[in-house]
Structure 1
Amino acid sequence: MSLTMPEELLLLMLDDRTGRLNEQAGPASNYAIAGAVLAELALRNRIDTDARRLFVTDRTPTGDALLDETLARIAAEPELPARSDDPEWQPRNSRWWIETIGRDADAIREALFARLVAHGILRQEEGRFLWIFPERRYPMISDKEEREVKARLMGVIFEDDIPEPRDSLLIGLVRAAGLLPLLLAPDTLDAAQPRIDQVANLEELSRSLGNAVRDIFVEMARYTPMM
């Protein structure tokens, strides 16, 4: 069974012991999930990017409800403002779409969790956090898919072969979202960082999406008051 990039990324974010999202994923995970949706559409030749914008190249539905909803949303968005002097208008580039789709990250995650439960990879549990607050957890049933994703990424990182575009994109998003410490020990990560950067920068779209996720996260951290 082949998982989509958003599904793969969500598995990498999940704490296998608790069934909760790993705290290391943090706020950037919303934007990484949005980037993964866009990356999957690009891999299916539905969208592309240039220096100024992200645009639809093929409106044909993919047959995946989550992807097709996003594809229709992009296709419906005007590329130019209704008025040329509109000060609120921004170019509809990768960053704009990641921020826009990222606002719906909670709903996207729930849809992805439901898929992974239906695939028999996770199970859904209802519980209480601190014995008071309702909480939903997703413990692992089968770790086969997660192990395969990690093994594929480790193979790319520790070998010199040119990676597939899918793996380059996923490594770029994992890097941008700060998830690499979940996969590699500190010393190993330091040694592998040059190869990770090389792989993540191979694809123009990977650079575009990865930079957008990273820039948004840095901006958020800058304006988030310290407690």
Structure 2
Amino acid sequence: MSLSLPEEVLLLTLDEEGRPLGRQGMAAGLGLAGAVLMELALAGRVDTDREALLLVAAEPTGDATMDIALARLPDSRDSRSALMLLAREEDALRGAAMAGLEAKGLLRRQEGRVLLLFRSRRWVPAGDRPEAGEVLARLRRALEGDHVPEPREALLVALARAAGLLPVLLPADLLAARQDRLDLLGRIEALGRSLGAAVAALRVARLGG
């Protein structure tokens, strides 16, 4: 089954009970926005370097998550502001991607109530599906290996790093031993560098405040 980068990242951010892993708040929104832009770049819909992002084709893709993003993006913009713009659309992007994963049988929707008054919704991974484990295995192989990575591999590592997932998903000794590899993978793709810079700037702003 083919999964988009946003779908892969969202699978990694849920534990077996549907509880969120990694960073929350604006950083989570940036991670999802980065995944969407990276998928659009791989599909040839946007062209980007570290500074500029150009909308190449705005026709709908048939993927609800990608089409929400395409409808929001202007013809051209610098990469960091494009990330911030889509991060503000996190609820719509996340909802569309979660619905897509549900349609593929990878998530189950659980409805409930908080304090008997407020409706709540949780997305729980389907326990009999191997896809989340396969994404994690690919992430680990990209970090452990010394091969020249495919763009999708490098982008997956950059996204997991930006979302704060690596310390949650991988052993600390592996991350310490492969720091040079991790830094290399983060520099390979322009969008990965822009995403890392945006998340770093957000953390500095929070510390400064």
2: CA distance, partners of 1:51 / 1:151: 28
- Structure-2-length-normalised TM-score: 0.89
% of aligned pairs identical?
46
Partner of 1:26: 24
- Write the deviation string for residues 19-46 of structure 1: whole angstroms up to 9, x where unpaired: 1222x32221111001111010001111
Q: Tell me the alpha carbon deviations over residues 159-199 of structure 1, each in whole angstroms, 9 at most, x when there is no partner.
A: 11111101111111111221111211222221122211111
- Secondary structure of 2:134's partner? helix
Taking the aligned partners of 1:130 and 1:191, their CA distance within structure 2 comes to 46
Q: CA 1:12–1:132 in 2, change beyond 3 Å: closer, same or farther?
A: same
Q: Deviations over 1:109-131 (max 9, x none)?
A: 11111111111111111123466
Which residue of structure 2 lines up, in the alignment, with residue 98 of structure 1? 83
Tell whether 2:121 aligns with 1:136.
yes
How many aligned residue pairs are there?
A: 207
- For the aligned residue pairs, the C-alpha RMSD in angstroms reads 2.0
Superposition map of 1:140-219 within 5 A: 140-141=125-126, 142-219=128-205
Greater strand share, structure number: 2
Distance 1:183 1:143, change over 3 A: farther
How far apart, in 2, do the equivalents of 1:221 and 1:15 lie?
Answer: 28
Instruction: Give the match for residue 41 of structure 1.
Output: 40
Three-state SS of the structure 1 residue aligned to 2:131 is: helix
Contact 1:19-1:137 within 8 A present in 2 as well: yes
Q: Please name the residue that 1:71 is paired with.
A: 70
Q: 1:221 to 1:112 in 2, by over 3 A?
A: farther
| Residue matched to 1:122 | 107
Preserved CA contact (<8 Å) 1:176 1:211: no
The TM-score normalised by the length of structure 1 is: 0.83
Assess, with a 3 A threshold, how the Cα gap between structure 1 residues 51 and 2 changes in structure 2: closer, same or farther: closer
1:210 CA drift (Å): 2.6
Unmatched segments (≥5 aa) in structure 1: 80-91
Distance 1:93 1:57, change over 3 A: same
Q: Distance in 2 between matches of 1:51 and 1:26?
A: 25
* Structure 1 segment 101-112 matched on structure 2, within 5 A: 101-112=86-97
- How far did 1:51 drift? 5.0
Bigger-Rg structure (1/2): 1
Question: How far apart are the structure 2 equivalents of 1:71 and 1:149?
Answer: 25
- Helix, strand or coil: the match of 1:62? coil
| Local SS of the residue matching 2:111 | strand
Q: CA deviation at 1:206?
A: 1.8
